Amino acid sequence: MDELVHRERPSPNFNERTLPVSMVVIHYTEMESAEAALERLCDPEAGVSAHYLISEAGEVTRLVPEDKRAWHAGASYWRGHKDVNSASIGIELDHPGHALGYRDFSEAQFAALVPLVARIVKDHDIPRANVVGHSDVAPARKIDPGELFPWDRLAEYGLCLPRPEKLELGDPFDNDGAFYLALERFGYDVTDGRKAVEAFQRRWRPERIDGEIDGQIRAILFQLLLDRDRGHAR
């Protein structure tokens, strides 16, 4: 067995992929316990699953083989793909979520997540820009893993894009329409504009999530696109 996986609990909730793996989607379970989450992720009636669940104690359970399509993202969109489940590996983090008491993710859980994501990214040659949260791919419906997920720490391991530090001067977007076009170009579904802005803030400027397009998030988005165009941010 993969040394990063502590146990197997096969879920019946999967089918065949129609796309190669090119993304990792990180979730929280929003449940009382890892055991309750595993029950649900294996329940045919629930019709949901993920490839992995990591408990708060750092135990990694595999539910669905990586070559199969797990059912974690639901109706989603990222960089032109609507079938995110077909294109991704889904990782559920055992956590009470916003509904049951939002709090920091545990150190043991993060310590188990890092090598798992590193191994997945390497095996499937996944670009850093495609290691995302559920809220990034379903901004109108989802807010997990949320503003306390330590993206900055994951970025230190080179496993997702870092928040741009140095922002170029100037204000690149004349109006909100231009901002939304750019946001879509970066990857987000902007059908619900305000929710898309909130999702962007949750990921890139978590200290203020208000759905308002302000100068700081305009500058962050512009920098992210510049870095990508220059090939710094695959």
Residue nearer to Zn ion on the CB measure, 51 or 218: 51
CB atoms within 10 A of CB 117: 22
Q: In the 3-class helix/strand/coil scheme, how is 72-102 assigned residue by residue?
A: CCCCCCECCECCHHHHEEEEEECCCHHHHCC
**Does 3 qualify as catalytic in the annotation?**
no
Residues 51 to 110 in contact with Zn ion, rule: CB under 5 A: none
From 22-30, 113-121, 198-206, 214-222, give the range in contact with Zn ion by CB under 5 A.
Answer: 22-30
Q: How far is the CB of 219 from Zn ion (least distance, A)?
A: 29
Q: How far is the CB of 70 from Zn ion (least distance, A)?
A: 12
Residues 111 to 140 in contact with Zn ion, rule: CB under 5 A: 134
Using DSSP's 3-state secondary structure scheme, residue 130 falls into helix
DSSP characters over 190-204: -SSHHHHHHHHHHHH
Using DSSP's 3-state secondary structure scheme, residue 26 falls into strand
Q: How far is the CB of 144 from Zn ion (least distance, A)?
A: 4
Burial class (CB in 10 A: 0-12, 13-18, 19+), 13: buried
Per-residue interface string for the shown chain with Zn ion, residues 138-157, x marking contact by CB under 5 A: ------x-------------
Amino acid at 130: N
Angle between helices 176-186 and 193-204 (to 10 degrees): 60
Give CA–CA dist 188/231, Å, rounded. 19
Give CA–CA dist 41/125, Å, rounded. 27
195 binding Zn ion? (CB under 5 A): no
| Active-site pick, 56, 59, 66, 92 | 92
27 binding Zn ion? (CB under 5 A): yes
Find out whether 110 and 150 touch, Cβ atoms under 8 Å: yes
Residue nearer to Zn ion on the CB measure, 201 or 223: 201
Instruction: Name the residue with the smallest CB distance to Zn ion.
Output: 27
Q: How far is the CB of 27 from Zn ion (least distance, A)?
A: 3
User: How many chain residues bind Zn ion (CB under 5 A)?
Assistant: 3
Residue nearer to Zn ion on the CB measure, 97 or 164: 97
Residue nearer to Zn ion on the CB measure, 136 or 144: 144
Residue nearer to Zn ion on the CB measure, 21 or 213: 21
Find out whether 5 and 61 touch, Cβ atoms under 8 Å: yes
Active site residues: 92
Binding stretches for Zn ion (CB under 5 A): 27, 134, 144
